[in-house]
Amino acid sequence: MALNYIWISFFVISFIVAIVKTILGDTEVFSLLTTKLFESTKIGFEIALGLTALMAFWLGIMKIADKSGLIKKCSNLLAPFFSKLFPEVPKESPAYGNMMMNFSANMLGLDNAATPLGLKAMNDLQNLNNQKTVASNAMIMFLVINTAGITLIPTSVMAIRQTMAIEQGLVGFNAADIFLPTLMVTYCTLFFAIIAVAWHQRLNLFNLPFITFNLFFIGIISGMYFWIKQFPQEAIAGKIALIGSVLIFGIIVVIIISGAIKKINVYDVFIDGAKDGFKTAVQIIPYLIAILAAIAVFNATGCLNFITDGIGNIVRLLGFDDKFIPALPVGLMKTLSGSGARAFMVDVMHNYGVNSFQGNLASIMQGSTETTFYVLAVYFGSVGIKNAKSAIFFGLLADFVGIIIAIAVAYLFYS
C-alpha cells in the first residue's frame, strides 16, 4: 500500500510542479515530461530484456547447485546466523543458500549476478509465506539488508574514477582510495539496518552467531585492507577487480564440478533452471516500468534539485559547512535510479574533479547505497507482493543513514 501512495505522489507532485513552471513561463516542461515518461517505459523494457539472459544463466547455475546439494550445505553452514535474522524460515530451506550467494555477489559489487540470485531467494521465501500478497517478516529483513548496500568492492565506481582521472590528466591516481571509506559506510549502514528491522520484529540479536558474524566481517575488512596496502597504487584497482572476477567465476566452476561429482546431467539441469529465468523476467516487466516511469517524471520536473537546494539553504542557515551539497543528489537519486545516480556522480567528478572532496563523497555514496525503489519493485514484483508493509520505511531509513554516514566518513578522510 505504501508503494502505491508513493507512486501516485510522484505523478501528482510532478504534475503540480509542471503546471507552476508553465505558469512561470516554462512552456517546454510538459513536452520534456512526456518525452521522459515514454523514454522510461522503453528503458524499463530494455532493462528487463537485458536481465532476462542474466537471470536465465544464473538461475540455471543455481538449479545445478540445488540438485547437487551445494545449496543445502551452504544453508547448514549459515543456519546459526540466519536463523536469528529469519526465525520463521526452516533451517533446511534452500532460501539460506540463495540468500548467502546473493549477499556474496553484492559484496563483490556484482549487481547483475546478485539480482537473479536475490530473486531466487525471494521466491523461496514466498513459498513459505502464508499471505501471498503481503510481505513476510523474512522478506522484509532480506530486502532491507539488500537496500543497505552490502558492498566490499565497488568495482564499477573505481573503474569510472580511474577513467576520469586519466581524462583529467592525474598522474599516479589511486581509484581505489575510496575502498576503506566505502567499507566503513557499508558496514555501519548494514549494521544499523539489521538492528532497526530486528527491533521492529522483536528479534534478539544479543547472541553468539550475530556477534561472531560482525567480528568476522570486521576481520575480512581489515584483512583485505592490509593485503591491498602491500601493492603499488597503480596496481590496486586491478587487484581488486581480479578478486571479484576470480571469486565469481570460481563459484560457477565449483557449482558445475559439484554437479558432475554427484553424477547429475549438468547441462539438462542448467537448461531447466534457465527456463525459469525467462518466466521471472516476464513477471518483472510491469513493476519495473511502473517505478521507472514515476522516477522519470519526478526527476524531469526538477523536484530532486529543488530538494537538494532546500537542504543546502538550511545547512547554510544553521552555519554548517555546505561543501557536501553538490554530491548530495547522488545519494538521493540512488534510492530511485542507479543509472541516474551514476550520471550525477560523473557530473560531480567532471565539475569538481575526481580527486576533490565532492568527487570522493559522490563515489562513496554511489558505491555504498542501493536503488531502494528498484529493488522493491523487482524483488517484490517477481513474487506478486502488493503490500510491502514496513519494507519501504526501513529501506529508505537505511538509505538516509547511509548518506549521513558517507558524509561523516568523507569529512573524516578528505576534509
Handedness of CA 333, 338, 344, 345 (dihedral sign): positive
State residue 234's pLDDT score: 61
Does residue 93 sit in helix, strand or coil? coil
State residue 27's pLDDT score: 85
Percent of the chain topping pLDDT 90: 16
Q: Is the pLDDT of residue 2 over 60?
A: no
DSSP labels for 145-173?
Answer: HHHT---S--HHHHHHHHHHHHHTT-SS-
Q: What angle do CA 189, 71, 266 make, to 5 degrees?
A: 130
State residue 196's pLDDT score: 92
Confidence band of 406 (pLDDT split at 50, 70, 90): very high
pLDDT, average across residues 307-329: 88
| Dihedrals phi, psi of 217, to nearest 5 degrees | -65, -45
State residue 238's pLDDT score: 63
- What are the residue boundaries of the structural domains of the chain, listed by start? 2-414
Q: In the numeric block, which cell numbers belong to residue 359?
A: 568527487
Q: Is the pLDDT of residue 308 over 90?
A: no
Q: How far apart are alpha carbons 413 and 166 in whole angstroms? A: 23
State residue 115's pLDDT score: 77
State residue 404's pLDDT score: 92
pTM: 0.72
State residue 152's pLDDT score: 64
- Calculate the CA dihedral of residues 339, 340, 345, 346 and round it to 10 degrees: 70
Of residues 49 and 296, more confidently modeled: 296
Of residues 57 and 159, more confidently modeled: 57
Counting every residue written for the chain, the total comes to 415
State residue 229's pLDDT score: 67
Output the CA–CA distances (angstroms, integers) from residue 113 to 66, 119, 217, 245, 275, in the order listed. 17, 11, 21, 12, 17
pLDDT, average across residues 193-221: 86
Choose among 263, 213, 255: nearest CA to 101. 255
Q: In the numeric block, which cell numbers belong to residue 202?
A: 522483536
Strand partners of residue 387:
134
Task: List, for residues 136-186, the tens digit of each pLDDT value.
Answer: 999 999 988 887 766 766 766 777 787 788 878 887 777 777 877 888 888
Q: Is the pLDDT of residue 269 over 80?
A: yes
Classify residue 111 as exposed, middle or buried by CB count within 10 Å of its CB (0-12, 13-18, 19+).
middle
| Dihedrals phi, psi of 279, to nearest 5 degrees | -65, -40
Residue type, 77: L
The H-or-E segment that residue 315 falls in is: helix 303-317
Task: List, for residues 339-398, the tens digit of each pLDDT value.
Answer: 667 777 887 888 889 888 999 999 999 887 777 887 888 888 888 888 877 888 888 888
Q: Is the pLDDT of residue 407 over 90?
A: yes
